[in-house]
Structure formats: structure tokens, C-alpha cells
Amino acid sequence: MPILTDTSHSSEWVEPDEVARPVVAYGVASDEIGAFELDMHRHAKGQMLLVQRGALSIKVEGGLWIVPPRSAIWVPCNALHAIKVTGALEGYSAFIAPDVDARLPQACCTVSVTPLLRELLVRAAHLPLLYDEGGANSRMIAVLLDEIAAAKVEDLHLPMPTDARLRAMADLMMAVPSDRSTLESWAKRVGLSERTLVRLIRRETGMSFGRWRQQLGIILAVQWLADSSSIQQVAADLGYESAPSFVTMFRKTLGAPPGRYMAERHFARRL
């Protein structure tokens, strides 16, 4: 069975590209991961990865994505990506051959997960790797593909610049997110004029400096909240003078205050 737990051996993992099925699903359930990072790799099949418990971050060419509980990420076939997990994790992945369904996303994206999509991924992960095709299995896989194609995209993506000076700035911001230095100060620190910094970050990320820094805050906040940090602690770690100002920013960006946003995901997980 393709469900990996803390007692599973590494030999139980079979590369999904080597499985002679157009769609193959796996599950992982661990209370002991602690901190784990899977280096850059790629699959010939696209990957839909659902996080049921915990949170993980994924670096894909040109961007960083955070996947909180009740969300999933779609990684297209052959996209180079790395995965980082902290704490306990329960998740399910479906690997899908590129010619199976033309409706599947063409670019990497995070999506919200309906109860039906979640149950279909869990059910698919309990199938044998070489499940019988035709009949009930094929009908279930067809519905799974329908749900993936219809999934609502979430804005949990941070585009990463490729310019070495901007990457240095991004690395510093991610290391010390409470640093609220001005645009002028950051430009001096990376050896650029303000005008050049504004132009470069717009060109490479599609965002203004302020919007990019705010999105970084959202990405980190979701990750920390999923790891049980309090709203007050997250606000402080992001350099906000008060929790209400952080809550206002979070609500305007994601459509709900952080407490409700995370509560909805934990509630949906128990359904």
C-alpha cells in the first residue's frame, strides 16, 4: 500500500514515474519528521500534493509556495522543485501523466481543497500501485481529475527574483522578517539606486517592493500559524507594532482574519 508512515522503510517508496499507471497516489503520515528537506528534483508526471496536517514549503523555479492545512499545490510535470517540511505532517499526492487531462493547470499554483477532493486523494492513496484499470477505480480517478481541474487557486505564492542583488535582499528579508527598513535603506544595502531597485523587482516579480514584502509576510504568517504560533507572536516576528495592524493586512490579502482562516482549515480537516 502506498501509505508511508514513521515505521516505513525507504525501500517501500517507488518512483511514481516508474509506475505503469497514468495516475498514481501516495500518502505520508508522520509525527516524527521534525525538519526535512527534499533537494531539487523533478517528475515526468505532474503532482497534486495535499496537506492534511502540518504545513510545508515548496521552491519551484522562480517562486516559493506555502501549503497550509486544507490546501494543496499543483507542480507541473518536469518542473524542478524542492520540498521543506517542519513538524508533523499528513499529506497525499497524486502523480498524473501529462497527457491524461488537458484541463490540468499549466503552471505551479496552490489551491483550496474541497471535502470531496480530499476524500478522493485519500481513497486513491489506498489503492495498490498497480490497481486494476477500468470499472470503479477508473471512474474514481476520473472524478478526482474533475475535482483537481475545478479547484480554486489560492494566493500563497511568493515570486523570487533571479538578480543576485535582489536574491541577496530576499534572503536577508526572509532571515529577519521583522526588519522593516525602508526602500531607500534596502537599496543602499544591496548597492542599487531606489529607482533601479523599484524597476528590477517589478520586472522580476511582477510586484512593487511594498507588495512583494507584504506577500512575504503572508507566506511566513501562514507557515507559522500552521505550526501553532499565536497571532501576537506572528505579528511581532513580522515587525508589526500591534497585532490588530497585522490582522487587518492578513484579512485584506486572504479575505479572512488569521484566526478564522486557520480555524476553517483545521475544522475541514476533521470532517
pLDDT of residue 1: 47
pLDDT of residue 33: 62
**Could you read off the pLDDT of 25-57 as tens digits, one per residue?**
998 887 766 667 888 999 999 999 998 887 788
Confidence of residue 18 (pLDDT cuts 50, 70, 90): very high
Name the pTM for this structure: 0.81
Of all residues in the chain, what percent carry a pLDDT higher than 70?
A: 93
Determine the Cα–Cα distance for residues 266 and 69; give it in Å rounded to an integer. 7
Residue 131's region, left for phi above 0, alpha for psi from -120 to 50, else beta, is: beta
Q: Distances in Å between the alpha carbon of 154 and those of 112, 261, 263?
A: 6, 12, 17
Using DSSP's 3-state secondary structure scheme, residue 176 falls into coil
pLDDT of residue 271: 45
In DSSP terms, 91 is beta-bridged to 28, 51
pLDDT of residue 71: 85
* Residue where the block lists cell 495535499: 50
In DSSP terms, 28 is beta-bridged to 4, 91
